[in-house]
């Protein structure tokens, strides 16, 4: 009888321990990271995606928009070189359901194809506190000698009003810092790229995109590079805008261009 009681007590204790362990490891669904959209890491360059060009006989010039276009295109190209693969992987992650792996941490694991190559990706999200969670993307394929390469990591607010990302090359060299902010009441937003690769001519250079609803020129880029500062402002509906670049134009004035419907030709600023 005594042995039976001991066995019963042992079984009860084991059950209690198993229940406790299971309970401790139960997914806290309310803390599961909700992935922010791709716009938190990819700058919108669409309004400057096409270079204008008039007929040879035209007396119109397009210098102001073209200079703005080329300035933006430089950053668009540089960002794509660093982020094309990981952003593609992140876009796929947005369609996946994460697995809870314990300790307030979740994983999105999946395969995807990019540029005719097959890759495996693991996106890990972990709660930092009640306001923020961390993210980390590791990607691998058969051509990679290691088990995977860290492509980006970051910190995101649960309410998606801000996100900070760091993109890497070779798994450890930080080359691009990305900072995103948005006010969901006014819809005002900004996104900044800062080039951080050490010992390069443009190390520390940045481009900041802003959306300022209600203003005539509600879109803006502020570009800081080794040659100086460039300010670009435009209306996101008409694409009419202006640019100020003292080093390029050799003055402190705004230089304007007409709307997309009117060909983006140079005009006098009002």
Examine residue 150 and state whether it is found in any structural domain, yes or no: yes
Q: How far apart are CA 80 and CA 82, in angstroms?
A: 5
* Strands 105-114 and 255-257, sheet pairing: unpaired
Q: Dig out the tokens for 158 from the structure.
A: 């649960």
CA distance 100 to 127: 12
The pLDDT profile of the chain, 270 residues, written as one tens digit per residue, is 444 444 444 444 444 433 334 445 688 888 889 999 999 999 999 999 888 765 554 678 999 999 999 999 999 999 999 999 999 999 999 999 999 999 999 999 999 999 999 999 999 999 999 999 999 999 998 666 567 899 999 999 999 999 999 999 987 899 999 999 999 999 999 999 999 999 999 999 999 999 999 999 999 999 999 999 999 999 999 999 999 999 999 999 999 999 999 999 999 998
* Domain presence at residue 18: no
Q: What predicted TM-score, i.e. pTM, was given to this entire model?
A: 0.86
Q: What's the pLDDT score for residue 145? A: 55
**Residue 21, domain member (yes or no):** no
The whole-angstrom separation of Cα 126 and Cα 105 is 4
Q: Is 235 part of a structural domain of the chain? A: yes
Owning domain of residue 232: 52-267
Decide if 128 is inside a domain: yes
* The total number of structural domains that make up the chain: 1
Q: What DSSP string describes 73-101?
A: HHHHHHHHHHHHHHHHHHHHHTTS--EEE
The answer to whether the CB of 167 falls within 8 A of the CB of 86 is: yes
Q: With respect to residue 16, please indicate whether it lies within any of the assigned structural domains.
A: no
Q: Which two tokens mark 228? A: 């100086």
- Is residue 111 a contact partner of residue 136, using CB atoms and an 8 Å limit? no
Each residue's pLDDT tens digit, 70-83 = 999 999 999 999 99
Please report whether residue 7 resides in a domain.
Answer: no
Three-class SS of residue 40?
helix
What the block records as the tokens of 188 is 């005002």
Distance CA 124, CA 186 (A): 31
Give the max Cα distance, the chain: 109
Q: Which residue has the tokens 């009117």?
A: 262
The distance from CA 157 to its chain's CA centroid, rounded to whole angstroms, is 14
Per-residue model confidence (pLDDT) at position 30: 82
What rounded mean pLDDT belongs to the chain?
A: 89
- The pLDDT, as a whole number, for residue 175 is 96
pLDDT of residue 233: 98
Residue 173 inside a domain? The answer is: yes
Environment class of residue 103 by beta-carbon count within 10 Å: exposed (0-12), middle (13-18) or buried (19+)? exposed
Q: Report pLDDT digits (tens) over 100-115.
A: 999 999 999 999 999 9
Closest C-alpha to 168, from 199, 202, 134, 198: 198
């Amino acid at each position: 009888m005594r042995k039976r009681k001991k066995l019963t007590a042992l079984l009860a204790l084991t059950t209690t321990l198993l229940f406790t362990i299971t309970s401790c490891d139960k997914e806290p669904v309310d803390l599961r990271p909700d992935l922010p959209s791709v716009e938190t890491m990819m700058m919108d360059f669409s309004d400057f995606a096409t270079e204008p060009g008039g007929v040879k006989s035209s007396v119109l010039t397009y210098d102001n928009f073209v200079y703005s276009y080329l300035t933006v295109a430089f950053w668009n190209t540089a960002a794509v070189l660093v982020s094309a693969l990981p952003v593609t992987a992140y876009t796929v992650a947005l369609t996946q359901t994460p697995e809870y792996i314990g300790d307030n941490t979740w994983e999105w694991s999946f395969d995807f194809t990019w540029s005719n190559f097959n890759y495996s990706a693991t996106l890990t999200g972990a709660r930092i506190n009640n306001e923020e969670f961390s993210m980390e993307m590791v990607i691998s394929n058969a051509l990679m000698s290691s088990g995977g390469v860290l492509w980006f990591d970051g910190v995101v607010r649960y309410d998606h009003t801000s996100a900070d990302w760091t993109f890497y090359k070779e798994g450890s060299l930080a080359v691009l810092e990305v900072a995103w902010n948005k006010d969901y009441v006014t819809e005002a937003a900004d996104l900044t790229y800062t080039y951080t690769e050490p010992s390069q001519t443009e190390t520390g250079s940045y481009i900041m995109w802003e959306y300022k609803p209600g203003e005539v020129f509600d879109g803006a880029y502020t570009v800081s590079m080794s040659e100086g500062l460039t300010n670009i402002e435009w209306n996101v509906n008409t694409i009419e805008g202006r640019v100020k670049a003292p080093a390029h134009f050799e003055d402190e004035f705004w230089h304007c261009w007409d709307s997309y419907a009117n060909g983006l030709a140079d005009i006098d600023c009002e």
